[in-house]
């Protein structure tokens, strides 16, 4: 039976963009609900600057308080050595570094050029590896950039190579804007094929145009076996105008269940967790019914 690896990113990507502050206690309760639904990995939070993403300024407290499910990989986003210093004081299995496929997005999201960001990340990846952590390398705007438009697959391939040289274990291709369709996903994988196999990547889809599921199913045909999803479709990137929710994990899991593909995830539990968090965000008790 084919199995697909699911990384649940709602607690990080789903919450980072939410203007309404969620308490540490609610985040912990949410992550514990996500853990109980059984995804392979949970991206818990982010050690970015709290000036940039105030919602996730309590990263260390959240990690100190969650209940870890044996076998689940717990990770967090890290943008620089300062973030890594904070992360290393917590119990983590994995970190995720991130770089943008375009210069404009790199400036907006991380206040530096692509070259500067890769230079910042070199010691982060090296030190994380020394500490025994797995390292994911995200490439944002792998399909389209809000400022520069369509992104050439070759630009993504070059960044894959740079991240592999730095020592990341896994490449995560982010369709930050949710602009992909199955054809652009196929062109992306064709374009990066001489540097990395689809099976060594994770695909991170946003659902702006309602085509994320179609893209994921197409990517499976190409050999991709690992996807990010966000419970309840929560999410978006604060520095990418017009990027709404991520692909809802439960939507992906149900589509895979229907095809006899195993994820180990309980879609119903995950959906309930997403609904619960939406209720915290909107204060709408109807969201729980
Ligand atoms: P900067 O302002 O250039 O940083 O930001 P700096 O080094 O000049 O420091 C400025 C202040 O921030 C200083 O504080 C630092 O101490 C502090 P001050 O002395 O002024 O009080 N600082 C930090 N504090 C805590 N933790 C840190 C940290 N670093 C600096 N790690 C920086 C550069 C990269 C830090 C900033 O631009 C940043 O945090 N950016 C992250 C923005 C972000 O989180 N974006 C969303 C995530 S990426 C994404 O969503 C895409 C993805 O989902 C995939 C997809 O969808 O495609 C992954
Ligand atoms: Mg994202």
Q: What is the mean pLDDT of residues 106-126?
A: 98
Does residue 204's CB lie within 6 angstroms of at least one atom of ligand 1? yes
Which DSSP string corresponds to 28-48?
Answer: HHHHHHHHHT--SEEEEEE-S
User: How far, in Å, are 10, 47, 81 from residue 42 at the CA level?
Assistant: 8, 15, 22
Beta strands in 110-266 (DSSP E): 134-140, 144-145, 149-150, 170-175, 201-205, 226-229
Q: Which ligand is nearest to the CA of 139?
A: 1
Q: What is the pTM of this model?
A: 0.96
3-state DSSP call for residue 248?
Answer: strand
First to last CA, the chain: 35
Q: Which atom of ligand 1 is nearest to the CA of 98?
A: 58
CATH number at residue 190: 3.20.20.70
Task: Using DSSP bridges, classify how beta strands 144-145 and 226-229 pair: parallel, antiparallel or unpaired.
Answer: unpaired
Known active-site residue 90? no
Cα 254 from Cα 227, distance rounded (Å): 14
Nearest CA, atom 52, ligand 1: 140
Does residue 176's CB lie within 6 angstroms of at least one atom of ligand 1? yes
Structure tokens at 82: 């300062």
pLDDT band, residue 241 (cuts 50/70/90): low
Average predicted confidence (pLDDT) for the chain: 95
Number of independent structural domains in the chain: 1
Nearest CA, atom 12, ligand 1: 49
Cα 95 from Cα 102, distance rounded (Å): 22
Phi-psi region of 32 (alpha: psi -120 to 50; beta: other; left: phi over 0): alpha
Q: Which atom of ligand 1 is nearest to the CA of 206?
A: 56
Residue 178 belongs to domain spanning: 5-288
Nearest CA, atom 36, ligand 1: 110
Summarised one tens digit per residue, pLDDT across range 60-83 is 999 999 999 999 999 999 999 999
Summarised one tens digit per residue, pLDDT across range 117-130 is 999 999 999 999 99
User: How far, in Å, are 33, 79, 92, 98, 128 from residue 167 at the CA level?
Assistant: 32, 15, 18, 13, 10
pLDDT band, residue 287 (cuts 50/70/90): very low
Nearest CA, atom 26, ligand 1: 49
Q: Mutation test of ligand 1: which of 49, 135, 177 has the most ligand atoms closer than 8 Å to its C-beta?
A: 49
């Amino acid at each position: 039976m084919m199995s697909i690896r699911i990384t649940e990113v709602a607690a990080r990507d789903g919450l980072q963009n939410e203007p309404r502050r969620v308490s540490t206690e609610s985040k912990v309760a949410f992550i514990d609900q996500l853990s109980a639904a059984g995804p392979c990995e949970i991206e818990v939070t982010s050690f970015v600057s709290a000036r940039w993403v105030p919602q996730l300024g309590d990263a260390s407290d959240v990690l100190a308080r969650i209940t870890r499910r044996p076998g689940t990989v717990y990770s967090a986003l890290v943008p620089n050595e300062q973030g890594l210093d904070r992360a290393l004081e917590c119990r983590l299995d994995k970190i995720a570094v991130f770089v943008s496929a375009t210069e404009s997005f790199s400036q907006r999201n991380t206040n530096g050029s692509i070259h500067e960001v890769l230079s910042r990340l070199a010691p982060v990846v090296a030190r994380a590896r020394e500490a025994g952590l797995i390292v994911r390398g995200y490439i944002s705007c792998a399909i389209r950039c809000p400022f520069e438009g369509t992104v050439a697959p070759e630009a993504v391939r070059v960044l894959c190579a740079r991240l592999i040289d730095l020592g990341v274990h896994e490449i995560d291709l982010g369709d930050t804007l949710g602009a992909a369709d199955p054809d652009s996903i196929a062109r992306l994988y064709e374009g990066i094929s001489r540097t990395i196999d689809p099976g060594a990547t994770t695909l991170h889809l946003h659902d702006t145009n309602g085509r994320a599921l179609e893209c994921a199913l197409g990517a499976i045909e190409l050999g991709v076996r690992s996807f990010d999803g966000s419970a309840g479709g929560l999410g978006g990137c604060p520095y990418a105008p017009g990027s709404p929710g991520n692909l809802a994990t439960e939507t992906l899991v149900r589509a895979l269940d229907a095809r006899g593909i195993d994820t180990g995830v309980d879609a119903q539990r995950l959906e309930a967790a997403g609904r619960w968090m939406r209720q915290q965000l909107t204060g709408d008790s109807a969201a729980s019914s």
